[in-house]
């Protein structure tokens, strides 16, 4: 039987607090470091490995983390989630995004529907639609093929799909699977929509409107913006738009769209990239086969995340080391640093995934917790970040755990030999150097040039950023966030903190304001 406990009631948590701390600098120096790199590596799916040699743990702490996982029933709670228990207690909903990419456990029947069959059915409908668009069977009013797809959405309807598209755009060019260019409109700032539209051939652009409720203010505003632009160009919007929404939303059966594809309340926005939210735009951009490969990579990472052996479960291991760093060592922030330009927007997606999920101060029962929960997440691709904020990471007063991502080979294969090494070798050399520099530091009598080291990091490393690799990366971090939420006994699947601003914004637009809200409204000339 599963029990939901606050972390500070666990015997293993008290043991963690009392355990001897690991000196990362000593652990990573000399042959010790070489041995750790070999020993502290775990498969995470799609040919990638999670290496945690430079994190502040040793075998003794890992043993306590195993006790923590067992005492808090973390793997059992994951099984309850994918087998259809009501895990989202705030909204009294199931949490089923894993079912979009495979069946981990039992059939889940909700609202009289087998949910795995439902998600696969929608994926098949999207695949068939994308095939017809690519074949020229679905065209604009003039009978001409669409060449661009543009997604209109915000938050989870934008960040994940956008990050995945950018991650695979160059790969698709090299592998001749780029069927349509993709663009994205998200911000209600009119300069966003206007700027994107100014670069589109509207006559040959298919728009994908994503809103589960069909009432998202920013998305519907941008839809109107797009429809106005189409009308001014003499185009019928009904020939240029599809919707991804719920079956009960006002968009579901509207004549304003060529087609509507469905999701449900059991898939939260920030976890929706493997549903139709990502599936529609990515299948149109790359073809359904590429999206299926992306799902297969996610499914492989999901299966590994069910393992009860901590040393064989990268997502659980990453999560628990993160809990240790946050709650025992007191580190407030985590940086995600992909050494791959293709992953330029992946940290932005993880900001939402992590901070919207675990930015909570009450437990699953609405009671305040007496310990820290989710960290602040930020990041930028290397090597750009090295010339931006790494100074603080190396010598600042806060220690910030780092999560590197790196690949042995580039996506596009084109490279040059300069000063005895290729650009890809220089990229990989930089990430290797940074891990050791952060961990080991450098002594110097000039304190301005002294590096204390002891700055922890891990690296996810693979051969090449492929669709399967992107899927596994996404699933790894989704499952890490889930496991940390379980560890902290919070609900990672609602986002009440997002709602208050929305309510007040509506009051401003209705001119129903007073006090500071009215003063700021006047200041902004609303």
Question: Which residues are the active-site residues?
Answer: 356, 387, 502
- Direct distance between the N- and C-terminal alpha carbons of the chain, in angstroms, rounded to an integer: 55
CA angle 168, 172, 173 (to 5 degrees): 125
CA 260, CA 243: separation in Å to the nearest integer? 5
CA 189, CA 179: separation in Å to the nearest integer? 29
Maximum pairwise Cα distance, the chain: 74
Q: Which stretches within 287-335 are classed as H helix? A: 288-304, 314-327
Cα dist from 502 to 218, 222, 244, 304, whole Å: 10, 16, 22, 38
Q: In whole angstroms, what separates CA 239 from the centre of its chain?
A: 32
Question: Is residue 112 left, alpha or beta, with left meaning phi > 0 and alpha meaning psi from -120 to 50?
Answer: left
Buried (b) or exposed (e) across 446-469, using 16+ Cβ within 10 A? Answer: eeeeebebbbbbbbbbbeebbbbb
Question: 457-462 and 48-51 as β-strands: parallel, antiparallel, unpaired?
Answer: antiparallel
Buried (b) or exposed (e) across 284-323, using 16+ Cβ within 10 A? Answer: bbbbbebbbbbbbbbbbbbebbbbeebeebbbbbbbbbbb
Q: Of 233, 178, 244, 177, which Cα lies nearest the Cα of 207?
A: 244
User: In the 8-state DSSP scheme, what is residue 111?
Assistant: T
The shares of helix, strand and coil residues in the chain, as percent rounded to the nearest 5, are 50, 15, 35
Cα dist from 414 to 137, 178, 442, whole Å: 36, 18, 36
CA 190, CA 174: separation in Å to the nearest integer? 34
CA 28, CA 436: separation in Å to the nearest integer? 7
CA 176, CA 171: separation in Å to the nearest integer? 9
Edge to edge, what strands does the sheet with 457-462 contain?
A: 41-45, 48-51, 457-462, 402-407, 333-339, 376-379
């Amino acid at each position: 039987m599963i029990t939901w406990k606050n972390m500070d009631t666990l015997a293993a948590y008290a043991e963690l607090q009392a355990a001897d701390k690991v000196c990362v600098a000593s652990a990573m120096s000399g042959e010790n470091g070489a041995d750790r790199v070999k020993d502290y590596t775990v498969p995470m799916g799609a040919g990638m490995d999670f290496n945690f040699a430079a994190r502040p743990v040793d075998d003794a702490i890992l043993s306590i983390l195993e006790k923590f996982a067992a005492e808090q029933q973390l793997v059992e709670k994951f099984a309850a989630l994918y087998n259809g228990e009501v895990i989202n207690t705030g909204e009294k909903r199931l949490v089923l995004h894993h079912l979009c990419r495979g069946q981990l456990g039992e059939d889940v029947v909700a609202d009289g529907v087998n949910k795995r069959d439902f998600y696969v059915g929608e994926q098949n409908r999207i695949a068939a639609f994308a095939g017809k668009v690519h074949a020229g069977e679905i065209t604009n009013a003039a009978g001409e093929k669409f060449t661009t797809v543009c997604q209109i959405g915000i938050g989870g309807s934008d960040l994940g799909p956008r990050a995945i598209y950018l991650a695979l755009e160059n790969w698709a060019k090299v592998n001749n699977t780029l069927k349509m260019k993709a663009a994205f409109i998200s911000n209600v700032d009119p300069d966003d929509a206007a700027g994107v539209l100014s670069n589109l051939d509207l006559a040959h652009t298919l728009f994908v409107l994503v809103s589960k409720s069909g009432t998202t203010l920013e998305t519907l505003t941008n839809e109107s913006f797009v429809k106005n632009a189409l009308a001014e160009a003499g185009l019928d919007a009904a020939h240029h738009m599809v919707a991804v929404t719920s079956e009960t939303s006002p968009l579901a059966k509207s004549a304003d769209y060529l087609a509507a594809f469905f999701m449900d309340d059991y898939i939260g926005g920030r976890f929706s990239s493997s549903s139709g939210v990502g599936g529609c735009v990515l299948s149109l951009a790359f073809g359904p086969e590429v999206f299926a490969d992306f799902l297969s990579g996610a499914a492989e990472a999901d299966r590994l995340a069910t393992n009860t052996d901590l040393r064989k479960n990268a997502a659980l291991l990453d999560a628990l080391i993160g809990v240790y760093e946050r709650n025992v060592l007191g580190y407030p922030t985590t940086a995600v640093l992909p050494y791959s330009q293709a992953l330029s927007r992946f940290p932005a997606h993880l900001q939402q995934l992590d901070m919207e999920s675990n930015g909570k101060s009450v437990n699953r029962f609405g009671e305040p917790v007496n310990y820290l929960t989710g960290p602040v997440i930020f990041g930028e691709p290397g090597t750009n970040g090295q010339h931006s904020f790494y100074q603080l990471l190396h010598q600042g007063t806060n220690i910030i755990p780092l999560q590197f991502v790196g690949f042995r080979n580039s996506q596009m294969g084109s490279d040059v030999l300069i000063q005895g090494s290729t650009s890809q070798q220089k990229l990989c050399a930089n990430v290797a150097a940074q891990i050791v520099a952060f961990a080991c530091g450098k002594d110097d009598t000039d304190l301005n040039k002294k590096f204390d080291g002891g700055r922890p990091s891990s690296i996810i490393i693979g051969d090449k950023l492929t669709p399967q690799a992107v899927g596994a990366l996404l699933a790894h971090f989704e499952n890490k966030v889930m496991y940390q939420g379980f560890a902290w006994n919070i609900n990672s699947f609602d986002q009440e903190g997002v709602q208050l601003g929305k309510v007040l914004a509506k009051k401003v637009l209705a001119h129903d304001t007073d006090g500071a809200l009215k003063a700021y409204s006047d200041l902004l000339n609303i």
